[in-house]
């Protein structure tokens, strides 16, 4: 088959890889000048397979009203007149119910564990380099109630095949000595040995290069998609903004992997999918011996700290600001503060700041697979876990598109799942 993938982020490129491995001819259309220029450019770097708790959960719900008016809060979700935001927000609140949060967690963990397997296979096959570290992640706590809740959640996830180990502060310091200098009074940590880390931008670029050189994959850059055209229940061609080029037709199937921009494009086809941008931020600077070697998550601040080769990455925060991509100082400052508190001896030299729009569903899991259009498929809506879930999502997408049986159930990942409906 000839397949067109819309978007060259990590989901689009891994999808291209999996489909081309099956022998298909793939064309990837991207508006930027190269792959991985948006969410796949400077994220937190964690392949956090064990992180399966969605933002929509009972523990977040009571904090929302406190955070709503704090510019430096981990999650800023303010009332909006945007009807798409309002619908998304209502669905988010519904999915904070314990039963729904538990089901969503199970779905995300199933996909995460599957992605770990597929990522290992991809790495063995392609040998792509991306500052990979396989030494786990450490989640640290300065609040006993939150730590106790994390231990209970770990027991729940353990039943589903995920292993996390509670640690005392002393054990945390032994695992990551740079934490011993923290100004925070830690009460403990949760160590996830199965987790990994790596540079998503380098990975995506190198995988795209591999696909272009070794597989039947063509990348078309600087092509901004205006809309998809349809006849009855099939997509016929892609219209490029400012142009009308028939060479964008002739494909047997199309894959929507445009991240946050997926929803506006789908609405043009009459498909109303609750994907909304959740803006995240990161800072990067030159690493030193005082930076952690194990990727750290600060539970209170909802921030991650990851060593990526000779660079240190600090990422976090969630902000609902529509499609505004401005880097706001009030959201960057907490990242700098968090780094100073956890690792006070690490200088923040040659600092760069960045923001992105994470494509988020209100329940947490992404949307993968078929749509009401017979030749249009989805692989988008991964929120903060696109890097973590990319390899598994791509394999699932490739299997569904080609009619092969999937290795794990798709339940909870379909476009029409009940959790996304009123």
C-alpha 398, offset from chain centre: 19
Total domain count, the chain: 1
β-strand partners of 197: 46, 133
Q: How far apart are CA 113 and CA 389, in angstroms?
A: 9
Residue 317: half-sphere exposure toward Cβ, Cα within 13 Å:
33
Residues in Cβ contact with 375 at an 8 Å cutoff, skipping those fewer than 6 apart: 234, 235, 251, 252, 253, 254
* Residue from 382, 274, 343, 315 nearest 7 by CA: 382
Cα gap 368→380, rounded to integer Å? 7
Integer CA distances (angstroms), 99 to 50, 53, 57, 364, 412, in order? 20, 13, 9, 14, 14
pLDDT at res. 244 = 53
CB-CB neighbours of 412 under 10 Å: 20
Q: Using CA atoms in the order 74, 99, 383, 233, what is the torsion angle rounded to 10 degrees?
A: -150
- The SS3 call for residue 101 is helix
Residue where the block lists tokens 């660079």? 311
Inter-CA distances, 417 with 208, 240, 361, Å:
32, 31, 12
CA–CA distance, 160 with 105 (Å, rounded to integer) = 10
Query: Can you give the pLDDT at residue 406?
Result: 98
Which segments within 212-371 are labelled E, that is strand?
217-220, 225-231, 234-240, 253-256, 276-286, 295-298, 303-308, 311-319, 352-360, 367-370
Say how far apart CA 50 and CA 194 lie, in whole Å: 7
Instruction: pLDDT tens for the chain, 422 residues: list them.
Output: 999 999 999 999 999 999 999 999 999 999 999 999 999 999 999 999 998 889 899 988 788 777 877 778 888 876 678 899 999 989 999 999 999 999 999 999 999 999 999 999 999 999 999 999 999 999 999 999 999 999 999 999 999 899 999 999 999 999 999 999 999 999 999 999 999 999 999 999 999 999 999 999 999 999 999 999 999 999 999 999 875 555 578 899 999 999 999 999 999 999 999 999 999 999 999 999 999 999 999 999 999 999 999 999 999 988 988 999 999 999 999 999 999 999 999 999 899 999 999 999 999 999 999 999 999 999 999 999 999 999 999 999 999 999 999 999 999 999 988 655 43
pLDDT score, position 261: 97
| Helices assigned H by DSSP within 304-385 | 329-342
Helix (H) or strand (E) run with residue 29 in it: strand 25-29
Cα-Cα-Cα-Cα torsion 339, 76, 380, 209, nearest 10 degrees, comes to -30
CA atoms of 264 and 400, how far apart (whole Å): 24
**Contact between 285 and 354 (Cβ < 8 Å):** no
* Cβ contact 227:265 at 8 Å: yes
What CATH number is associated with residue 215?
Answer: 3.50.50.60
User: What is the C-alpha to C-alpha distance for residues 14 and 28, in angstroms, rounded to an integer?
Assistant: 11
Quote the pLDDT of residue 165: 96
Q: 313's torsion region: left (phi>0), alpha (psi -120 to 50) or beta?
A: beta
- 264-273 burial, b for 16+ CB within 10 Å, e for fewer? ebbeebebeb
Element (H, E) at 166: strand 165-167
What SS3 class is residue 198? coil
Beta-carbon contacts of residue 151 (< 8 Å; ≥ 6 apart): 166, 190
- What is the length of the chain? 422
Taking a C-beta distance cutoff of 8 angstroms, is the pair 263, 77 a contact? no
Q: What values do phi and psi take at 407, rounded to 5?
A: -80, -20
CB 9 within 8 A of CB 366: no
Residue 306: closest CA among 327, 288, 291, 289: 291
Instruction: Report the C-alpha gap between 19 and 25 in whole angstroms.
Output: 8
For residue 279, the model assigns a pLDDT of 95
Which range of residues forms the domain containing residue 106? 2-420
């Amino acid at each position: 088959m000839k397949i067109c993938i819309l978007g060259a982020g990590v989901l689009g490129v891994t999808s291209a890889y999996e489909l081309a491995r099956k022998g298909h001819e793939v064309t990837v259309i991207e508006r930027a000048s190269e792959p991985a220029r948006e969410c796949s450019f400077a994220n937190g770097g964690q392949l956090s397979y064990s992180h399966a708790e969605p933002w929509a959960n009972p523990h977040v719900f009571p904090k929302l009203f406190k955070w709503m008016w704090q510019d430096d809060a981990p999650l800023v979700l303010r009332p909006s007149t945007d009807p798409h935001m309002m619908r998304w927000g209502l669905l988010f609140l519904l999915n904070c119910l314990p039963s729904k949060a538990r089901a969503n967690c199970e779905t995300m963990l199933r996909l995460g564990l599957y992605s770990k397997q597929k990522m290992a296979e991809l790495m063995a096959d392609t040998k792509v380099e991306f500052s990979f570290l396989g030494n786990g992640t450490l989640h640290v706590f300065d609040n006993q109630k939150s730590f106790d809740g994390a231990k209970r959640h770990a027991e729940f996830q353990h039943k589903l095949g995920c292993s996390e180990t509670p640690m005392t502060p002393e054990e945390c310091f032994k695992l990551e000595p740079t934490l011993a200098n923290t100004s925070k009074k830690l009460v403990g940590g949760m160590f996830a040995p199965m987790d990994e880390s790596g540079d998503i931008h380098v990975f995506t670029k190198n995988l795209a290069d591999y696909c272009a050189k070794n597989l039947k994959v063509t990348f078309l850059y600087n092509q901004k998609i205006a809309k998809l055209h349809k006849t009855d229940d099939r997509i016929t061609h892609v219209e490029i903004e400012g142009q009308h080029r028939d060479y964008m037709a002739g494909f047997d199937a199309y894959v929507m992997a445009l991240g946050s921009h997926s929803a506006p494009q789908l609405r043009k086809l009459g498909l109303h999918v609750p994907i909304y941008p959740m803006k995240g931020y990161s800072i990067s600077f030159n690493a030193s011996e005082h930076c952690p070697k194990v990727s750290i998550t600060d539970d209170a601040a909802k921030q991650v700290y990851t060593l990526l080769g000779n660079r240190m990455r600090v990422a976090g925060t969630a902000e609902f600001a529509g499609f505004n991509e401005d880097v706001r100082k009030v959201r960057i400052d907490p990242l700098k503060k968090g780094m100073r508190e956890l690792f006070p001896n690490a200088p923040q030299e040659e600092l760069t700041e960045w923001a992105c729009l994470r494509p988020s569903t209100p329940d947490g899991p992404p949307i993968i697979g078929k749509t009401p259009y017979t030749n249009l498929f989805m692989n988008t809506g991964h929120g903060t876990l696109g890097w973590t879930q990319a390899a598994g999502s791509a394999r699932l997408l490739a299997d569904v598109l080609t009619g092969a049986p999937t290795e794990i159930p798709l339940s909870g990942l379909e476009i029409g799942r009940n959790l996304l409906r009123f």
